[in-house]
């Protein structure tokens, strides 16, 4: 997985977790099992979106596209093995 793809996966996971937390009051009537199911489905959708973006980048990767995608999703790809992705201001 490229550094940009890893950063995108992390960013999308972060957004998913944040939104699920934000929506907790709306899902308060769900059982713990139902809530876990919603969380799992949301995570699966998030990962599917990230995988599609990653696949598109692999087909047409270039510095311009990489820079555009990084700016669009506000991520800074880290060098391999150097921790979590940062944010672009």
Q: What are the residue ranges spanned by the domains of the chain?
A: 3-72
pTM for the full predicted model: 0.72
Q: What's the confidence (pLDDT) of residue 79? A: 57
Q: Please, which residues bridge with residue 86 across strands?
A: 76
Long-range contacts of 60-66 (CB under 8 A, 24+ apart): 61/2, 66/4
Q: What's the confidence (pLDDT) of residue 76? A: 86
The answer to whether residues 49 and 9 touch, using CB atoms and an 8 Å cutoff, is no
The answer to whether residues 77 and 85 touch, using CB atoms and an 8 Å cutoff, is yes
| 63-81 pLDDT, tens digit each | 788 888 889 889 988 754 4
> Considering only CA atoms, which of 54, 56, 55 is closest in space to residue 75?
54
For the chain, which residues score pLDDT lower than 50? Answer: 80-89
Q: What's the confidence (pLDDT) of residue 54? A: 86
């Amino acid at each position: 997985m490229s550094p940009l793809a890893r950063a995108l996966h992390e960013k999308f996971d972060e957004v998913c977790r944040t939104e699920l937390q934000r929506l907790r009051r709306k899902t308060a009537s769900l059982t713990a099992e139902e809530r876990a199911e919603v969380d799992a489905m949301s995570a699966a959708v998030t990962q599917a979106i990230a995988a599609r973006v990653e696949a598109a980048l692999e087909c047409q990767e270039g510095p311009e596209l990489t820079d555009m995608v990084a700016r669009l999703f506000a991520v800074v790809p880290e060098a391999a093995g150097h921790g979590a992705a940062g944010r672009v201001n």
